[in-house]
Amino acid sequence: MTDISEMVKGLAKGMSSPVRAPILHTPDEYGMAYEDVTFPSQDGTPLEAWWIPAPGSDKLVIANHPMQLNRYGVPSHLPRWAVPGGNDIEVNYMREYRYLHDAGYNVLTYDARNFGQSGEANGGIFTWGRFESRDVVGSLAYVKSRPDTAGMTLGLLSRCMGGNATYMALTRHPELFADVRCIVNPQPISMRAMVERNLEMMGATDQFDAVDREFKLITSFTIDQVSPIEYARNCRIPTFIIQVRDDVLTKSSDVQAIFDAIPTADKKLFWIEGSTRRWDGYNYFSEHPEQMIEWFDKHMS
């Protein structure tokens, strides 16, 4: 029983206590001029970011990132940051930014609290979008505060946890999203689905309640209290979701439930076939940017 107890504690800690990953690449390595900028989250947490300008453009995409990653991506090809389920490949968002830049989009991309180079907050705990939603609010407030960006047409590239945080932010502060034309949301996820998948791989499917209790002891939230599904019901912004259908770390039914919850008719769900690696979804637009650019062009032109 001791082994099970330690396994439960380890799983709960891994899903609530982020390990920072280093930033290994910068936009200039891919031919993009950029500026290091910083701005406060809604609660004052300092957030580190890159401003990647597209001279002459009045269109801006604000990009955030999944759990474990940062604005660069994540060096999962290195053992320290490798993830189970075959996710031992690097995620590098620089080509994705280059495609957006070449298509005429300014890009602001930032590290969420407790990730990358941004400040520590809330005791360092990770809440699957609840506290991180304050960072989404901070990013919108920042672009509205800059004279050169205040009037720009806005789109959001909200990835995984960043998507969850976006749905939660727009539920709490819909007025800040009045000028957001569309969202591209790679791989949103409910914590329940990921915990259930991990327990299946561990051969301990009967331990969900134990993980739930341990997660609450760390964060003060239950697993279902950090689900994005209820918040997605408030998203009336045109939204494009992509997902690895057979992703070993989640369930396609969970992603379908998030998609179905979004009440707008102007939405799209694209399944990535032929892979079980979650990281293939994070890298998808770096290799196949066409649908992303098409969605932004359609709604931001």
The domain spanning residue 191 has which CATH number?
Answer: 3.40.50.1820
Question: Which residues of the chain register pLDDT less than 70?
Answer: 1-2
Tens digits of per-residue pLDDT, 5-33? Answer: 898 999 999 999 988 999 999 999 999 99
Give residue 80's domain range: 2-300
Q: Exposed, middle or buried by CB within 10 Å (0-12, 13-18, 19+), for 186?
A: buried
Which pLDDT belongs to residue 4?
75
Which pLDDT belongs to residue 197?
96
Residue 201 CA from chain centroid, whole number: 24
Say which residue the tokens 């602001």 belong to.
108
Which pLDDT belongs to residue 1?
42
**Is the CB of residue 48 less than 8 Å from the CB of residue 110?**
yes
Which pLDDT belongs to residue 18?
81
Which pLDDT belongs to residue 19?
87
Which pLDDT belongs to residue 5?
86
Which pLDDT belongs to residue 235?
98
Number of domains present in the structure of the chain: 1
Supply the pTM of this predicted model. 0.97
**Is the CB of residue 159 less than 8 Å from the CB of residue 110?**
no
Q: Outline where the chain has alpha helix (H).
A: 2-14, 94-102, 133-145, 161-172, 191-202, 208-219, 229-232, 252-261, 278-282, 284-287, 290-300
Closest to 187 measured CA to CA, from 238, 256, 287, 93: 256
Which pLDDT belongs to residue 3?
76
Q: How far is 91 from 26, CA to CA, in rounded Å?
A: 13
